Amino acid sequence: MPKVIIFDLDGTLLDNSLKIFTPRLVQAIVEYFSRYVPAQKALSALLSGVQAMDANAGTNRSNKEVFVEVFRAATGIEPDELDHHLEEFYARDFPKLAALTRRLPEARSLVAWAIQNAFQVVIATGMQTPRAAVEHRLAWAGVPATDFAYTFITTWDNMHASKPYPAYYQEIIAKVGRQPAECLMVGDDWEHDILPATSIGIPSYWIVEPGRTPPATSTLLVGQGTLAELFAWLSQVAG
């Protein structure tokens, strides 16, 4: 019986196709920063910064620190100034992307049930963004941080590795003070959620439409199905 449920966000608690959402997010960020640096320079700096975070396999540097170093070198924008710009962007422009996402009706009831039943609940999003971006998406999903006492929410300034590196999941379980076997990873992405989590001993539930076959066998894959099916399975396991 798990004591901690680690939820991926996009594609798991929130219907959000990153193949659609990410290009629109990049476009919006570049449009914002084009007021301060040429658009092509902003795009190059953004992509290079994201690539640097993607390569962070577990260091003493946060994902934010990795990004800021690259972005500053490419644009000349100082960290304090960057923080101001990002705060403005996520308050004013980011909410416009909500229309690209869809709320899943089971998400709120599942999270509420988990917390009411004394599970520690972690939000483990793979997008390397400030907390504001995560809080917006949690609100879009109907599970805002203002309503639920999450044990931990990953952001770019509190994580020192990125998905799909095992160090990302090792850092999460260290922060919540649990062993891998005491946790359950719930995610839709096999390569970024399920594979690295199970590689360090975290049992996992794959959120996927019916008929999909796992790319590989794993004794730590405890189940697969929709969010509603996960809810039913957890309710049964919890007795």
pLDDT at 92 exceeding the cut of 70? yes
Rounded average pLDDT over 109-114: 98
Task: Decide: residue 230, CB within 10 A, 0-12 exposed, 13-18 middle, 19+ buried.
Answer: buried
Select from 70, 98, 126 the last residue of a domain.
98
pLDDT at 219 exceeding the cut of 90? no
24 or 209, greater pLDDT: 24
Q: Report the percentage of the chain scoring pLDDT > 70.
A: 100
What value does the mean pLDDT of the chain take?
96
Query: Do residues 226 and 207 lie in contact, with contact meaning Cβ atoms separated by under 8 Å?
Result: yes
Q: State how many domains the chain has.
A: 2
Query: Do residues 155 and 129 lie in contact, with contact meaning Cβ atoms separated by under 8 Å?
Result: yes
Rounded average pLDDT over 196-218: 91
93 and 106: one domain?
A: no
77 and 45: one domain?
A: yes
8 and 54: one domain?
A: no
Select from 71, 98, 125 the last residue of a domain.
98
111 and 190: one domain?
A: yes
Can you give the residue range of the structural domain that contains 206?
Answer: 4-16+102-238
User: HEC states along 106-167?
Assistant: HHHHHHHHHHHCCCEEEECCCCCCCHHHHHHHHHHCCCCCCCCCCCEECCCCCCCCCCCCHH
107 and 124: one domain?
A: yes
User: Rounded distance, CA 165 to CA 144, Å?
Assistant: 27
Amino acid at 177: G
122 and 176: one domain?
A: yes
Select from 63, 98, 133 the last residue of a domain.
98
Tell me the CATH number at 8: 3.40.50.1000
Sequence-separated (6 or more) residues with CB below 8 Å from residue 80: none
